Structure 1
Amino acid sequence: MRPRVVILDYGSGNLRSAERAVQRAGADVTVTADPHAALEADGLLVPGVGAFAACMKGLRSVGGERVIGKRLAGGRPVLGICVGMQILFDRGVEHGVRTEGCGEWPGTVERLRAPIVPHMGWNTLDVPEGSRLFAGVDPAERFYFVHSYGVLDWELAADNPHIPAPLVTWARHGEPFVAAVENGPLWATQFHPEKSGDAGARLLANWVGTL
């Protein structure tokens, strides 16, 4: 049987392209804001496009932060993409305004420190050994980014010493920033795998293969 994936519809995100890409990766996909469906699915994909504060407002309006927390407490897979990754961190700061995130990972989402912002286009990654997300992907592959904000510092001191450290993938645009994280059932990418050709398709298949 094909695994069941819910793409959480909270008013933000590239829903249809993500839906098609996950279907091609081997899952049956439903796009919905229904919290029960999101809790019961084999996998939950959290998309996100736009401002951190607006995405958090939309997420809270459908109880998405509670759904994410409940799934992770039960070890059930969640994948965040773009701002859907950013909102998993402690906080976002945009134009001097601080917004609390889901707090699943330590760190602050802030404006990229680079000569040209937004960071738009293809970029290579520095992937740690042991990554399941990037299994079978050529280290020289490029992935598609569109963002002006990111996590520039991983706050290691706040990590839980009782669980394995997350695998953090980095990219560089001006300065290094977090491009992906794998942490037990919670995986996320700053780039758009659904827009990253064959390499992105492999990543989504790797995630669907864990469900």
Structure 2
Amino acid sequence: MSVVHPAGPAADAIAKLWWVMLIGATLIFLFVMALLTVAYRKNAAGVRDHKLERIWIVGLGICFSISILAALLAYGLVVGERLLPRPAENVVSVTAVGRQWDWSFTYADLPGRTTERVLHIPAGRPVDVSITTTDVIHSFWVPRLAGKLDAIPGHRNVLRIEASEPGEYAGVSSEFNGKGYHGHYFSVVAHDAEGWSAFLRGESR
């Protein structure tokens, strides 16, 4: 469930954004601490150097912090834009329907097939998950594969996920939705090419 151990390109972009924002926030924090030190510092004669204080406060306290925050904002907007689903080859389409307190999944490539609490996808291919709900608001989240997206009654949101390698990845509904919320989880099984073909033939559950 760790967002800093990504297993797909979307999650990798989110993890990098997290580290960049952590580094930026740390730099701002360190400079603020330095400014506090300068604010209380006195020169050898026991008098504060107000000119030096102004340089630190305006030059570093304001300009530096605004520059870092602006850079982080710009980087975050660029990453967010890149995560939006776009037309691509070999995209797999599935539908995720949330309810208290379960998830069911249907597959465009396998009409009539529904799985409960387990989403099957091919590894190494983008998957567009059309997310909705039959009752209250839920939130679809597989931390190691992509960001989270709300499931809203009467509406469909599309989230693109992708697993770089075959495996099983934990998912959870990250929106409080009642007494059964603590057990509202699911898993994503990413198959290799042979396993995905077997799933489409109905030979895998």
- Computing the radius of gyration from Cα coordinates, the structure with the larger value is 2
**Is TM > 0.5 for Structure 1 vs Structure 2?**
no
TM range (shorter): under 0.3
What TM-score results when the alignment is normalised by the length of structure 2? 0.25
The structure richer in helix per residue is 2
